[in-house]
Amino acid sequence: MDFPDRAAEMLSALSFVKYDEVAIPRILKVFRHFGIKQTFFYPAWCMETYPHLVEAILKYGHEIAAHGYLHEGANHETRERQAYWLDKQVDIFKRMTGAGPRGWRAPLYDALKDSLELLAERGFTYDASLVGDDVPYVLNTRKGEIIALPSYWAMDDWPHYMHSLDFQYTMTIKSPDEAIAVFDSEFDAMYKLGGLLVTVWHPFVSGRLARLDRVADWIEQLIDKGKVWFATVEEIAAHVKACRDDGSWQPQIENMPYYEGRIAEWEPKQEMAGD
């Protein structure tokens, strides 16, 4: 998106994306080994371009959820453009999977108040873009409710590993042990709470051999700990709804939008002209 005129020529950057073809089968093998199902938030352009990877993900019972078309951030988009991109994704999902997506993670976590209303209008049940709690909560929009399943940057592999001038990210690269130590500390705190841990792994980032080996070791460690439920994000959203319906647990409900417009104190002040 940053280099539309030269993207097709940028082989170094493209080779990152192409690594998905190596990483996704490897990741699926790890999930099969442990008998767990997970969610792949997949840009719809990638789905169209690599249909064999979509087929492989679905074959083993994993969920595919929406993640933009070209990983376009919403912060600079109008409501109409957001609707255009979202409808394009939904159409591709229906054509390739037989059903529209149930969940969405905003590319770059750029979710706007319009984004949530557009999701509700199109029958989405959950969003995984926001960071407003440690447990699931409900976003009450003017178009309907969306279940929020929060994460945040510390639980994303990108700041731990990603270093590419082409992608304009130059993070200090951590060792796999250092990165997993961050995820593990987050897990320990959530385990005490009995809460939710939504981690974010990019196949072409964490699917590298040493990193995925350490992820597999960590998964085994969590399974051995016991009382840990590995689930797709759609399953978690359905569990939240079931708890609400039977009264066993009630999440926080937040009315959207937080604010209708610019906060008055931020309005530029007129300078008084001197005499």
**pLDDT recorded at residue 43:** 98
Q: How many domains does the chain have?
A: 1
Report the predicted TM-score, pTM, of the whole model to 2 decimal places.
Answer: 0.92
Which strand ranges, in their side-by-side order, compose the sheet holding 63-66? 39-42, 63-66, 103-104, 126-127, 144-148, 137-141, 253-255
Is residue 181 in a domain?
no
Is residue 260 in a domain?
no
**pLDDT recorded at residue 77:** 93
Backbone angles phi, psi at 61, to 5 degrees: 85, 15
Segments in the chain below pLDDT 50: 275
d(CA 56, CA 76): 34
Is residue 43 in a domain?
yes
**Structural domain boundaries, residue 201:** 36-153+196-209+231-255
Q: Determine which helix (DSSP H) or strand (DSSP E) holds 148, and give its type and residue range.
A: strand 144-148
SS3 30: helix
Is residue 23 in a domain?
no
The one-letter code for the residue type at 145 is E
**pLDDT recorded at residue 243:** 98
d(CA 125, CA 239): 12
**pLDDT recorded at residue 268:** 63
CATH code of 202's domain: 3.20.20.370
Is residue 159 in a domain?
no
**pLDDT recorded at residue 166:** 75
**pLDDT recorded at residue 191:** 97
171 contacts 163 by C-beta, under 8 angstroms: yes
**pLDDT recorded at residue 2:** 64
Is residue 168 in a domain?
no
Chain centre distance of CA 213: 22
Is residue 93 in a domain?
yes
Is residue 139 in a domain?
yes
